[in-house]
Structure 1
Amino acid sequence: PAARRSGAARPPLRGPGAARRPVAVQHGGAVAEAAFGRKVAVLDYVEPSPPGTKWGLGGTCVNVGCIPKKLMHQAALLGSALKDAQHYGWNIAHPVHHNWSEMAQAVQNYVKSLNWGHRIQLQDKKVKYFNVKGSFSDPHTIRGLTKGGKETILTAEKIVIATGGRPKYPIHVAGALEYGITSDDLFWLKESPGKTLVVGASYISLECAGFLTGIGLDTTVMMRSIPLRGFDQQMASLVTEYMESYGTKFLKKCIPTKVEKLESNRLQVTWKNTDSGTEETDSFDTVMWAVGRAPDTKALNLETVGVKTNSETGKIIVDAREATSVPHIYAVGDITEGRPELTPTAIAAGKLLAQRLFGQSSELMDYDNVPTTVFTPLEYGCVGLSEEKAVQCYGSDNIEVYHAYYKPLEFTVAERDATQCYMKMVCLREREQRILGLHFIGPNAGEVIQGFALGIKCGATYPQLMKTIGIHPTCAEEITKLHITKRSG
């Protein structure tokens, strides 16, 4: 919920004869409309995953995304810190063991507290919450069904769809659905997943494989092609190189063909190497699919009311105002075509939508220069264009890339390898040298990039950055020293 100011309270909207003045927000989307004194309802229902995992109010980020992911990443970082601590004089008893159940319980309890917080916030904003699964009956009517089949009908003047996405299963792989899990399940496991195969090379795959390795589990990543598709590929290669040195195994240019359950209850996976054509097998305790996400829109009956979607991706087509092909129906977040699949962009888009509808504002969401971070063991943060995209947009002769390897001070006493600690800045090759993109691999990459993102959003140039005094001794300071160009060799 994005509402921050309370509005005038009105009775909840119920029944097929209700007036069409109020707003209904379909499934866990932003509810800033309530801040403008409108009558608002929100529908949020979690369809259990194939293994049966379900969760509470708050959407993917809170329950099966950013929040539990970052906390488990932190657990892995603490494990690395314990190894470093000996070099700094701490007497750490060995061997050190990680307890999955204790970590999982703590993370899950925190997530449940956030679920409760969202319920309270909805109540504070006078938003009526329905734990029902909604679908369109007509362009102004939502039919909601409870788990027990009880029906609720809501009508509304305006409707916002914000259902997000769910992980895909490779249903062409025998045994994938029966025996595999996804990130929807990993964060809610009560017991350790043990020896794990993570299939896919997305940021979700690498983040999960990274923290599983970091807490001491035997972890393998199976990659069909390239890692971190859509990200700068030089940086992506450094991320996976570090993960390999960190202990994660990689099966490159491999695709799974079947998963079978053995008498021991372990899972035997057969895969094919696309280069050699050979088949191999190994057994695992857990197989996690991280092969992409699909918009959770199939049950909404969008075709019934004329909401157009991309036939290939299934995503809803929206304009700059987040409006669908039906004038009073809007969509925000991961379900919309061509938008970043990031929680903060969905929240910001929802707030601006509410302001345009009811707050007399005409401001549109700006999706350029959105910063993000991949929370792999060595974090990768970026904002703006990748080097490949900059070359595509402006031509290689018109861009300048400043770059440097560096060693974090924290790594020195602990004698940690800093081979993959690297940063680069992509600039336009002109007098002002406007910064097009900034990429950073190293500790606390998200914190580093968040600060520089403001300057880049404001059109910062390379000379301006060189006039910025660094904070010594930090990793971020190294960005203010960038002076070597790739062009120089």
Structure 2
Amino acid sequence: MAAFSRRRQGIKVLCCFRTLISTRNFAAGTFDYELVVIGGGSGGLACSKEAAQLGQRVAVLDYVEPSLKGTKWGLGGTCVNVGCIPKKLMHQAALLGTAVKDARKYGWQIPESLSHDWSVMAEAVQNHVKSLNWGHRVQLQDKKVKYLNMKGSLVDKHTIRAVNAKGKEMTVTAKNIVLATGGRPKYPTHVPGAMEFGITSDDVFWLKESPKKTSLPSTQVTLVTVMATSSQTADVVLLLSCRAVNSNLKPPKAVRYVALPVITLFSLTLGRASETKTLNLEKVGVEINIETGKIIVAADEATSVPNIFAIGDIAEGRPELTPTAIKAGKLLARRLVGHSTELMNYDNVATTVFTPLEYGCVGLSEEEAERRHGKDQVEVYHAFYKPLEFTVAERDATQCYIKVVCLREGDQRVLGIHFTGPSAGEVTQGFSLGFQCGLTYEHLRNTVGIHPTCAEELIKLNITKRSGLDATVTGC
């Protein structure tokens, strides 16, 4: 209750600044642009290009502040430069390392002395990212979107102050403004030495040489048991119930660190901070959650100030996922132009964690389903299975697990799907479509599978957690 009161109090403080909003009057057609987007990430680019395609005069402001280590990148935002793209490519490099080990079991004669060259991988990944940066610039030009490599902040509800790397300023006016500045990683500032000796995902993907060893400090971490066990078997050491005291101290000998030629990186929720502090939101009166720094938005992405909207990671209550930002940006552009009234549906968005053994999910967790519907009204089907490709390779499959959360009544509407195993993203993407069509357990059971695949195990589920029976798959 106290936290809620603080949040509301913070919002009230910000609201009082509305009296300071500029009262400049703009006659129809006197704006420099009909839409200006601050932020050149996935959501901002999608919104700007869609609006331009629909005949709007559009500009995008994008400027990347260098990280504490001096790392900087080009147009495209977190996903392209320091997120989804380099992460998945490096994940693939790690999977190939495992595949080489498996290949010996399948008869391939592979020398034992194989090694990995981080610099070769890094150069290839970084070159691909740079090609995407260039591609985004070309697309903006082709769609007649004005690209300004400048940092933007609000002056009033129609005016933006833009500053370039040399400090040169200009102002830009727009009928509508979309804020899409995303977020940056947090540093654990309470840990001495963290700022001087630590790096974040903003830096690691642009390293020229392998970091050899990494420590991932975290707070308030909840790990799915099967994912934690799988990570340990893949040479990732989990140090549970420990506290970082000083990052400039040598680790005690009792602590085991594993040096990996290729490191599959995943966040243990130190979290990301919204890039809203430099937008001058207080002066204009845009309401934020003072605890998260995120902008409070309505169902149509509107902020508390008319003509100003927010999408993507900086919007309160939105999934921090690239595809949601892209779709939300496109739908917003269509509404602003008057071509549609369709709102973004943030329910049942699928996602995947690219750990050594991937985890994909869509819909509700078992716990959330029980909270919403009551434990007696929820049925959970589950199975432990072994991918065929793991057999000859003699790989541990004890962590390959599937769970489908359903309502107990009627046809048993599916509330959530959780899949741990190879290519979890590819599997989950297909099944997530069913959520748009009212997927039920009966639909799953009536579907003919593709054999032998991991995905078919989802439609073979028949053991409930309630029954207490062994959920290990033993045959076709």
Range into which the TM-score falls when normalised by the shorter chain:
0.7 to 0.9
Gaps of 5+ in 2: 1-25, 469-476
Equivalent-residue separation in structure 2 for 1:226 and 1:283 (angstroms) = 20
Confirm or deny that 1:331 pairs with 2:343: no
Residue of structure 1 equivalent to 2:222: 227
Residue of structure 2 equivalent to 1:244: 232
Equivalent-residue separation in structure 2 for 1:459 and 1:134 (angstroms) = 43
Confirm or deny that 1:459 pairs with 2:438: yes
Equivalent-residue separation in structure 1 for 2:161 and 2:192 (angstroms) = 36
1:281 positional shift: 7.7
1:385-414 Cα offsets, whole Å, 9 max, x none, are 001111111111000000001000000111
Equivalent-residue separation in structure 1 for 2:85 and 2:247 (angstroms) = 30
- Given candidates 258, 282, 287, the residue that maps to 1:303 is 282
Residue of structure 2 equivalent to 1:86: 104
1:457 positional shift: 2.3
Gaps of 5+ in 1: 1-15, 201-223, 229-235, 261-266, 271-278
Distance 1:114 1:250, change over 3 A: same
SS of the residue corresponding to residue 258 of structure 1 reads: coil
Confirm or deny that 1:107 pairs with 2:125: yes
Residue of structure 2 equivalent to 1:231: none
Residue of structure 2 equivalent to 1:319: 298
1:135 positional shift: 0.7
Confirm or deny that 1:257 pairs with 2:245: yes
Bigger fraction of residues in strand: 1
1:297-333 Cα offsets, whole Å, 9 max, x none, are 1000001101000011010000000000001000000
Distance 1:479 1:283, change over 3 A: closer
Contact 2:380 2:406 in 1 (8 A): yes
Contact 1:268 1:281 in 2 (8 A): no
Letter in 1 for 2:340: S
Equivalent-residue separation in structure 2 for 1:477 and 1:57 (angstroms) = 40
1:71-104 Cα offsets, whole Å, 9 max, x none, are 0000000000000001111000112211110000
SS of the residue corresponding to residue 245 of structure 2 reads: strand
Contact 1:256 1:269 in 2 (8 A): no
1:360 positional shift: 2.4
Cα RMSD (Å): 2.1
- Given candidates 302, 306, 326, the residue that maps to 1:347 is 326
Contact 1:182 1:289 in 2 (8 A): no
Distance 1:431 1:290, change over 3 A: closer
Equivalent-residue separation in structure 2 for 1:155 and 1:253 (angstroms) = 52
SS of the residue corresponding to residue 299 of structure 1 reads: coil
Give 1:56-455 correspondences, 5 Å limit: 56-200=74-218, 224-228=219-223, 236-260=224-248, 268=250, 291-455=270-434
Mean CA deviation greater in 470-479 or 250-259: 250-259
Equivalent-residue separation in structure 2 for 1:259 and 1:421 (angstroms) = 35
SS of the residue corresponding to residue 282 of structure 2 reads: helix
SS of the residue corresponding to residue 172 of structure 2 reads: strand
Letter in 1 for 2:128: Y
The percentage of aligned residue pairs carrying the same residue is 64
Contact 2:192 2:247 in 1 (8 A): yes
Equivalent-residue separation in structure 2 for 1:448 and 1:303 (angstroms) = 44
Equivalent-residue separation in structure 2 for 1:356 and 1:158 (angstroms) = 12
- Given candidates 3, 7, 19, the residue that maps to 2:30 is 19
Structure with greater contact order relative to length (CA < 8 Å, sep ≥ 6): 2
Equivalent-residue separation in structure 2 for 1:473 and 1:198 (angstroms) = 37
Letter in 1 for 2:239: L
SS of the residue corresponding to residue 156 of structure 1 reads: strand
Letter in 2 for 1:367: Y
Contact 2:74 2:81 in 1 (8 A): yes
Letter in 2 for 1:268: K
1:352 positional shift: 0.4
Residue of structure 2 equivalent to 1:474: 453
Residue of structure 2 equivalent to 1:8: none
SS of the residue corresponding to residue 197 of structure 1 reads: coil
1:88-129 Cα offsets, whole Å, 9 max, x none, are 110001122111100000000000000000000000010000
Deviant stretches of 4+, over 2 Å:
224-228, 267-270, 279-290
1:178 positional shift: 1.0
1:479 positional shift: 0.5
TM-score by length of 2: 0.87
1:245 positional shift: 1.4
1:227 positional shift: 3.0
Letter in 1 for 2:52: A
1:289 positional shift: 8.6
Contact 1:268 1:284 in 2 (8 A): no
Equivalent-residue separation in structure 2 for 1:168 and 1:379 (angstroms) = 25
Tell me how many residue pairs correspond in the alignment. 430
Equivalent-residue separation in structure 2 for 1:27 and 1:416 (angstroms) = 44
Equivalent-residue separation in structure 1 for 2:279 and 2:258 (angstroms) = 37
SS of the residue corresponding to residue 22 of structure 1 reads: strand
